[in-house]
Structures are given as C-alpha cells and as structure tokens.
Chains A and B, each alone.
Chain A
Amino acid sequence: MKLDPKIPSGPIEEKWSRRKGEIKLVSPANKRKYSIIVVGTGLAGASAAASLSELGYKVKAFCYQDSARRAHSVAAQGGINAAKNYQNDGDSVYRLFYETIKGGDFRSREANVYRLAEVSGNIIDQCVAQGVPFAREYGGLLANRSFGGALVSRTFYARGQTGQQLLLGAYSALCKEVGRKGVELYPRAEMLDLIVVNGQARGIVVRNMVTGDIVPFLADAVVLATGGYSNVYYLSTNAKGCNVTAAWRSYRRGAGFANPCFTQIHPTCIPQSGDYQSKLTLMSESLRNDGRVWVPKNPGDKRHPNDIPESERDYFLERLYPSYGNLAPRDISSRAAKRVCDEGRGVGPGGRGVYLDFRDAIKRLGVDVIRDRYGNLFEMYERITGENPYEVPMRIYPAPHYTMGGLWVDYNLMSTIPGLFVLGEANFSDHGANRLGASALMQGLADGYFVIPYTIGDYLANTNLSPVSENTPEVKDTVGEVKQRLNKLMQVGKKGSRSVDYYHRELGRIMWDYCGMSRSEEGLKFALGKIRELRARFWEDVRIPGDANCLNQELEKAWRVADFFELAELMCLDALERKESCGGHFREEFQTEDGEAKRDDEHFAHVAVWEFQGDDKPPIRHTEPLQFEVIHLAVRSYK
C-alpha cells in the first residue's frame, strides 16, 4: 500500500492556495458528463452533494434514514468553531490551527488542519447566507461562546441545536438541488459494499430497506460521508443506526484504515441507569462554560449534593488544570472523571458519575441568564432523569462519542482506492488523537463545501475511466458477494437463538472494558480472544426473524453488527501496537507520574494505516510519518 499524502509544497499558509491553483479543472460542459455517488447526508455528505451538483456534476445521494434531514449531525448541540476573531480576543487562523493540533495531541497532519482553520470563516458566511439562525448580540451581529481546549471565544451556536441548524442549512441546499434535478436522492437505502473496477472506485451496492432489493449504482467517483463508529461500544451518544459498514466494506476492498483506536470518550453524558439502556445522551460541552465539575472529597460520601459544604467538595478539573479549569479538553476531563470515580468518590447509582453544578453560575448571573443559555439542555436532562438541574447538580459520566480514526485520506481527501473520497468523521485526517469541541461540525462542512468540490474535479480531469455497466464482471461479482453474505446471515438467523442486540451489547461491554477509556497490553490481548469467540458464536447463533425481501430492522442491525465485530478486532490490534498514550488513546503502561498521557514521539509520531489481507490473514500495519514543519512538538499541558 502506497501512502502518499500529496501535501503541496511551500509555506503552510500558501499550501491550499497553491493546490487550488495547480489542480486541473473540468469544463462546465463536461461536468454534466460525470456522475458522483455521495453516501451519507449529514453535514459532510449533504454539503458535498449540494455543492457538487451546483457545479454541474450528476449526483446520486444515499442515506439510511427516511429523510436526509435526520442524519446524526442533527444531534450536535454546542457549536461550530471558526477563526473569525469577532471577539477581538486574539484569535487567528494560526491559533485555531495550533489549538487543533495541540488538542489532537500532535497526531494529525499539519497541512490538513491548517486548511481546516483557513476555510472555517467561509463556513460561517455560507451558513448565515443559507439562513442558519445563529445566536446574535443585541447589535445584530453574531455571538460566540467558549469551548474546551481553547483560550479564545470562537464557537458560533444556535441555542443547543447548532448541529440541527447547520444540517438543515445543508439539507436545504440539497433540497434545492434535488428540486433542480441535479441530485437524485435515495433515502432508506443502505450501502452494503463498494464496487471497485480496475482498481478504481466505480460504484456501490445498495439495499433498498423497504423492498430488500440489492441494486448496484455506478458512477465515476464515490464519496463516503458516513460518519464514525462509536456504536461499536453499543452504548454511545451516536444514533442507533450509525454504523461502520460503508467504511468497513471499503477497507475490505483496499482502502487503508487509519488509527482505528483513536476514539473520543465525551466527559459530559447522562450516566447509564439500567441494563435496558439503549443509548447514552450527551450534555453539551458548552455547559462547562458555566457549570463546575466536582465530587465529594471523601470516598463514599452519600449525602445529598446540596448538603455537602464547599470545603468538602473537590472541583478536580479546576484543581488539576487551573489555566483551563472546567474547559479542559475532552480526553483529559474524561480521564480525570474516571480517576476520581475509581477512587470511590463517584456519585449516583454504582458510583459512576460526577456532578456538574450550576449553583454558582445561577448565583452570579441569575436563573434567567442560565435558562436563556442552556434552557433546552436543562429540560432534556430533567425529562431523562426526573431531576431539576436548576436545583440539584447534574450527574454526568463519560461516554463514547466520536471516532477520530477512519479511512486514510490524502490531502485531497482521497483514500488509497483511486476515486474513493472520504469526508467528515468517516476519515481520519484532522483531529489526531483527540477532537476539540465544536470542531466536528467545522470539519464536516469544510470537507463538503470547500474541499471536495475542488479536489474531485482534479481526479476526474486526470483519470481515464473505462465504461462500466451492470454486466461488468466486478459489478456482478460484488453484487453476488453481497447477496451471498445476506443469505448466510438469514440462514443462520432462522435457526439462531439470541437477538442481534444481545451480541451487540456483549461486544460493546468488551470494547468499553478493554478498549475504552484506558487500555493495557494484557487487556487488549484478552479482548481480542473474547471478540473472536463472540463473533464465532454470533455467526452460529444470531436470531433474525422475518424475511430479507422486505423492511427488516433485525437484518439491518445484524449486517452492521457483523461489521462491528471485525472492526472491534482491528481497533484492539491498533491499540496494542500503539505503545504510547496520546489523546483519547490511553495505555496504562505509558503514563506520567500524575497519570497523564505519555507520548512517544520518537517511535509513534505517525499515522498507523491498516491494510486488509483477507479473512484468514492478519492485516498489515503501514505508517505515514507526521512531519511537523510549523509546530514544535511539545508536552501537551493544560495546567
């Protein structure tokens, strides 16, 4: 596998301009001759599909939901970063770039991150023009708030529904193009495999989720914007349908999978309340602007939180990280919460929780200001827990939320399969080993609005594409393989005894215990054995009622979980081989005296890229060395 990141030459501020200047363009008359498939209609997918259609390409867009507007970007709460410096507080493209690299614990690619910071301002312009109702000051100009890991206030927001509003903006652009007949939209359609012809990505195999039909769709390039894989843990903040299938099937067809062990555990989620629990709900990081995180000083203190006096509270984030306080980055805050709970100081059922307390903020600002800022989040908390956070501190605990790892892409966002582009959370490129809050929305829209429209044209203009049809042998073979796997699942499913959810839950438990917030060589090796064992049982014993030729939610889940099993193994392998701690990847063997992550830049300042070798052979680990030309590698401190 050749890993050429194709980073443009020259100083970092000029790289993107240079690339845009040197790429080959497709003439307007020829654009309509090219067809592009976009899978996923979240921020990255919808913005890409709309923008490519505006340019004149024929676009087909697919999503598994009943409407493109429901993709899980919709659930992002807090905000989107942009280096506008509207606050006059010292922000700049360079500072956003620097904080993102540092936030990622120096494991992301400089050139990509710089470009992300560079186009961040355009995103806000674009969204405002679409009618995204961002929060505003009384003077009518845009408001900002602060997020973790940043020393400036650069986060734009729309109440606690920023993701929803940005997605509705991208969705409206998509609707416009569907109305103009530039985009053909296929909802309730799930990509089950990638079609590769002559080494080029030329289409996808799709299951119509209503009729069960297995149909190939062909194109000149394929864009995956299919999100992350946190659902490998079963319980996560992702939507129930989020899955790794599109990325995983592409990996099996030759796309390198980068840093699969880089997962983000978000510190502020509502703790689990029972075994029936189906998902975990995030409480926006923006709450840490005004909420203070604490646990009792003494282990086993069972008093009501309001009865615990100030002197017996440990505001551990403020104590450990005085310069960032409650706005320490996610990986750091999550681990700190885990540590205090491990010490027996956790609160709530099972001792797996810490308080997020607004008492002081309410005293300082008044209850109306707090309601104005976080009202809908407080309501959501109360609906789920039955507790009123205006009076009793919230209880929160870390939960799987985002995956920094994903398919490897070069600077042009193309994977190791020519013609297969990967955007948003599905790729690996911008967040290193830990993503900062409010940067996922930024990346999704940067990729979709401002990167792919340029780079995909360069690929199409420079590539010879042979004609393909449903009769091309590779197309027929791929469709055949999909049908075969489906039949196998259905055959097992007719006789099996345990539900898909049972297996998924068990897999999630293994991953959370051994490849979650903290990992060790011993644990990972143990997990690998357990995963293989469970996977073998799944393929003999899973129960799938109903038929394949109609709407069948158990079958949908079974296919996704089958892929999660394979991914889980790769995540553990990757975590095992990365013998250092960085960002969200914490190896117990590699930590400082005070329990912080200890990087090993000499041996691991690289991207680990895995190449599939077949079901019976272990994958090969390649590396892309990370060159830090601008930023000096340093110990990541938030103290």
Chain B
Amino acid sequence: MKLYLRIWRQKDRNDKGRFVDYELDDVNEHMSFLEMLDVLNQHLIEKGEEPVAFEHDCREGICGCCSLVINGVPHGPWSKTTVCQLHMRAFKDGDHITIEPFRAKAFPVIKDLIVDRSALDRIMQAGGFIDVRTGSAPEANSIPVPKHVADLAMDAAECIGCGACVAACPNGSAMLFVAAKISHLGLLPQGQPERKKRARAMVEAMMKEGFGGCTNYRECEAVCPKGISISFIARLNRDFLGAALFPEGGGGKREQKSLFK
C-alpha cells in the first residue's frame, strides 16, 4: 500500500520543530507500525537524509519506550496496544497518517519523536516503592494475600510507564500513572506501612514536575495500552485525602501537613 506520512521533525530541544511530508510506497499489511518507519528510514538514509528519530526497544509491547501520537491518538487506533504492536493492517492504501511525539509540558521533545519522560522516574524516586532492604524479607508465604486482591494489584502493576496517559490528557496529568503505582502497592499488605507517606510523596512530586490535575476526561484510560482503569485514580484520591486528613501518628506530636502546599 501507499501512505502519505506527515511527521514531526525537530533537531533538538531548542529547535522549534515542524511537520515534514513523506510518501511511502512499499508498505505491507503484515508490518508493524515501527517496521513501516524502519522502511522509511532506510529510504532516507539511502538518499543521504537524516532518518526520523523515534524511541523503541523491546518491540513486544512491554518496555514502554514507544511514544508516538498517530492521527491525534497516543499509540494509534487500536485499543490496548502500544505502537510497536500496532500493525499496518489497521491502515489502507492511500491513507494520510500524522505522526507526532507525546506532547505535554512535563515531556520536552529531545529530537523528532523522542521526548524526555524522566519526570515519571522522579515521581517513582519520591515514593514509588516499599522500603525493604535486601535480605530482610520474611518467608514469602507467611502473609497470605487473597487472590482477588493480588489480581487487582496486578491489574494496576501492569503499567508500562509509557506516558500515553499524560499525552492524552487535556491537562497533561500523570494521575493514572501515579494511581496505578499507589494502588498496586497500597492494595497489598506489604505496602501498608508506607501507604500514606507514599501517596503524599508521589502526588507532591507529580505536581512539582508540572503535570496537571485530573478532571475526569477519561482520555488516559482510553489510550492506556494496558487498559488500566481510572477507578485506581479514586483509590489515589482516597489515599491522598486520608494522608492529608489523618497523617501517620495522627493526634501525636507530628506536624499536620496541609493538603496542598
């Protein structure tokens, strides 16, 4: 099939960037979307032009590298699918396809379709963990976890950290990302001791990074390649509110933290 591509090209962080049009003839419906871009790049290299830079690695939908917006939708037209798993069967001969990077205030473009998502790592560093030292863990079966709880925690834990939720949100919010981690750890008995501290620390870090708040557009859920539900955001809100109203050691000498500082 023949495709008409309109791709965002941007030399570096400081460049303004622009769309460039390309035509591509030899596209096969069995190709993945990224393989289609590979073919385009091979043509560009042969012509002596710079190939389109895009992020990718595992190409099996799990590493979370790919970060393209296709015709306005992060990860493209198939639901619950990363770009690397999107195949050209989704398109037809003569289609026009616009390809952009994930766009958000907290995700500056580094080059072409590659963005800087290190803000998500910094949120994790603020509290996205259970503080357990290597070697100090109790016997694995000493704490039973009901199957439905473990399954729900796993639903949340499936997040691949791609950031499509942020790119889809009109507010550029990372609430779904944060909610997934807070729910995953907060549902499990192992995550209880730090549950409130974690909610507070991760939300504060999220706000510091310039992500917006959640106003229930639900765009995040619609594009999430792992189908993570926004009901986890309700859990996040509950944990965060609980942390603010009833801090650990509540009633003691511990200083009360205000809700939004």
A interface list, Cβ under 8 A from B: 47, 50-51, 54, 65-70, 72, 74-75, 84, 86, 121-122, 124-131, 133-142, 158-159, 161, 163-165, 168, 171-173, 175-176, 178-179, 185, 187, 210, 239-241, 273-274, 276-279, 281-282, 379-380, 383-384, 386, 449-450, 453, 497, 499, 501-502, 543, 545-546, 550-551, 553-554
Chain A residue at minimal CB-CB distance from B188:
A131
Q: Which residues of A contact B126 (CB under 8 A)?
A: 179
A70–B65 contact, CB under 8 A? yes
With A126-B134, A173-B134 already in contact, the answer to whether A75 and B42 are too (CB < 8 A) is no
A136–B147 contact, CB under 8 A? yes
B57–A128 contact, CB under 8 A? no
Whether, in the assembled complex, B111 has its beta carbon less than 8 Å from a beta carbon of chain A, the answer is yes
* Interchain residue pairs with CB less than 8 A apart (17): A47-B134, A69-B124, A70-B161, A75-B58, A129-B136, A131-B184, A161-B158, A164-B160, A165-B157, A179-B126, A278-B32, A282-B60, A379-B80, A380-B60, A386-B87, A386-B89, A543-B48
Question: What distance in Å separates the Cβ of A427 from its nearest Cβ neighbour in chain B?
Answer: 20
- Determine the distance from Cα of A554 to Cα of B146 in the docked complex, in whole angstroms: 49
Which of B30, B34, B45 makes the CB contact (< 8 A) with A278? B34
Encoded as 1 (CB less than 8 Å from any A CB) or 0, chain B from 111 to 127 comes to 10010111011001111
B51–A550 contact, CB under 8 A? no
Q: Which residues of B contact A168 (CB under 8 A)?
A: 157
Whether, in the assembled complex, B139 has its beta carbon less than 8 Å from a beta carbon of chain A, the answer is yes
Whether, in the assembled complex, B249 has its beta carbon less than 8 Å from a beta carbon of chain A, the answer is no
Which of A65, A126, A131, A134 makes the CB contact (< 8 A) with B63? A65
A70–B154 contact, CB under 8 A? no
B145–A136 contact, CB under 8 A? yes
Q: Which residues of B contact A128 (CB under 8 A)?
A: 137, 140, 143, 190
Highest count of chain B CB atoms <10 Å: which of A122, A172, A545: A172
B61–A172 contact, CB under 8 A? no
Whether, in the assembled complex, B185 has its beta carbon less than 8 Å from a beta carbon of chain A, the answer is yes
Which of A68, A138, A176, A278 makes the CB contact (< 8 A) with B35? A278
Q: Which residues of B contact A179 (CB under 8 A)?
A: 125-127
A125–B45 contact, CB under 8 A? no
A133–B60 contact, CB under 8 A? no
Main secondary structure of the interface of B (DSSP, over half): loop
Question: What distance in Å separates the Cβ of A306 from its nearest Cβ neighbour in chain B?
Answer: 22
Q: Which residues of A contact B136 (CB under 8 A)?
A: 129
Q: Which residues of B contact A545 (CB under 8 A)?
A: 44-45, 48-51
A175–B129 contact, CB under 8 A? yes
Known pairs A126-B134, A551-B111; list 7 more (Cβ under 8 Å). Answer: A67-B64, A133-B153, A136-B145, A142-B140, A161-B158, A274-B31, A554-B45
A74–B58 contact, CB under 8 A? yes
Encoded as 1 (CB less than 8 Å from any A CB) or 0, chain B from 43 to 85 comes to 0111011110101111111111100000000000010110001
Whether, in the assembled complex, B38 has its beta carbon less than 8 Å from a beta carbon of chain A, the answer is yes
With A66-B118, A84-B140, A142-B140 already in contact, the answer to whether A176 and B129 are too (CB < 8 A) is yes
Chain B: residues with Cβ within 8 Å of the partner, total of 81
A210–B129 contact, CB under 8 A? no
B57–A241 contact, CB under 8 A? yes
A141–B185 contact, CB under 8 A? no
Q: Which residues of B contact A54 (CB under 8 A)?
A: 133-134
Chain B residue at minimal CB-CB distance from A129:
B137
With A66-B118, A125-B139, A499-B45 already in contact, the answer to whether A130 and B63 are too (CB < 8 A) is no
B57–A65 contact, CB under 8 A? yes
Encoded as 1 (CB less than 8 Å from any A CB) or 0, chain B from 183 to 194 comes to 011001011000
B51–A239 contact, CB under 8 A? no
With A54-B134, A550-B12 already in contact, the answer to whether A175 and B78 are too (CB < 8 A) is no
- Determine the distance from Cα of A140 to Cα of B62 in the docked complex, in whole angstroms: 27
Chain A residue at minimal CB-CB distance from B54:
A553
A133–B137 contact, CB under 8 A? no
- Segment 199-230 of B: residues with Cβ below 8 Å from A: none
Chain A residue at minimal CB-CB distance from B37:
A278
A134–B150 contact, CB under 8 A? yes
Chain B residue at minimal CB-CB distance from A168:
B157
Q: Which residues of B contact A130 (CB under 8 A)?
A: 129-130, 132, 137, 190
Q: Which residues of B contact A279 (CB under 8 A)?
A: 59-60
Which of A163, A171, A240 makes the CB contact (< 8 A) with B59? A240
With A65-B65, A543-B45 already in contact, the answer to whether A278 and B85 are too (CB < 8 A) is no
Chain B residue at minimal CB-CB distance from A67:
B121
Tell me the total A-B contact number using a CB cutoff of 8 A: 222
Which of A65, A133, A210, A380 makes the CB contact (< 8 A) with B150? A133
Q: Which residues of B contact A383 (CB under 8 A)?
A: 78, 81, 85-87
B154–A158 contact, CB under 8 A? yes
Chain B residue at minimal CB-CB distance from A48:
B134
B62–A449 contact, CB under 8 A? no
Whether, in the assembled complex, B141 has its beta carbon less than 8 Å from a beta carbon of chain A, the answer is yes
Q: Which residues of B contact A126 (CB under 8 A)?
A: 132, 134-135, 137
A68–B121 contact, CB under 8 A? yes
Question: What distance in Å separates the Cβ of A430 from its nearest Cβ neighbour in chain B?
Answer: 20
Question: What distance in Å separates the Cβ of B218 from its nearest Cβ neighbour in chain A?
Answer: 22
B130–A129 contact, CB under 8 A? yes
Whether, in the assembled complex, B170 has its beta carbon less than 8 Å from a beta carbon of chain A, the answer is no
B184–A546 contact, CB under 8 A? no
Pairs A-B, 5 closest by C-beta atoms:
A140-B144, A129-B137, A172-B129, A179-B125, A133-B154
Q: Which residues of A contact B141 (CB under 8 A)?
A: 84, 86, 141-142
Chain B residue at minimal CB-CB distance from A165:
B157
B89–A72 contact, CB under 8 A? no
Encoded as 1 (CB less than 8 Å from any A CB) or 0, chain B from 239 to 255 comes to 00000000000000000
B147–A138 contact, CB under 8 A? yes
B62–A164 contact, CB under 8 A? yes
- Determine the distance from Cα of A168 to Cα of B116 in the docked complex, in whole angstroms: 20
- Determine the distance from Cα of A84 to Cα of B135 in the docked complex, in whole angstroms: 17
- Determine the distance from Cα of A504 to Cα of B259 in the docked complex, in whole angstroms: 56
Q: Which residues of B contact A499 (CB under 8 A)?
A: 42, 45-46
Question: What distance in Å separates the Cβ of A201 from its nearest Cβ neighbour in chain B?
Answer: 23
- Determine the distance from Cα of A122 to Cα of B137 in the docked complex, in whole angstroms: 8
Question: What distance in Å separates the Cβ of A155 from its nearest Cβ neighbour in chain B?
Answer: 14
B118–A133 contact, CB under 8 A? no
B114–A551 contact, CB under 8 A? yes
Highest count of chain B CB atoms <10 Å: which of A51, A379, A553: A553
B147–A554 contact, CB under 8 A? no
- Determine the distance from Cα of A277 to Cα of B36 in the docked complex, in whole angstroms: 10
Chain B residue at minimal CB-CB distance from A164:
B62
A384–B118 contact, CB under 8 A? no
- Determine the distance from Cα of A239 to Cα of B125 in the docked complex, in whole angstroms: 25
Question: What distance in Å separates the Cβ of B89 from its nearest Cβ neighbour in chain A?
Answer: 6
- Determine the distance from Cα of A173 to Cα of B132 in the docked complex, in whole angstroms: 8
Q: Which residues of B contact A241 (CB under 8 A)?
A: 57
Question: What distance in Å separates the Cβ of B106 from its nearest Cβ neighbour in chain A?
Answer: 14
With A130-B132, A131-B190, A179-B125 already in contact, the answer to whether A501 and B60 are too (CB < 8 A) is no
With A72-B58, A133-B157, A277-B35 already in contact, the answer to whether A554 and B63 are too (CB < 8 A) is no
Q: Which residues of B contact A185 (CB under 8 A)?
A: 121
Which of A70, A86, A546 makes the CB contact (< 8 A) with B57? A70
B63–A74 contact, CB under 8 A? yes
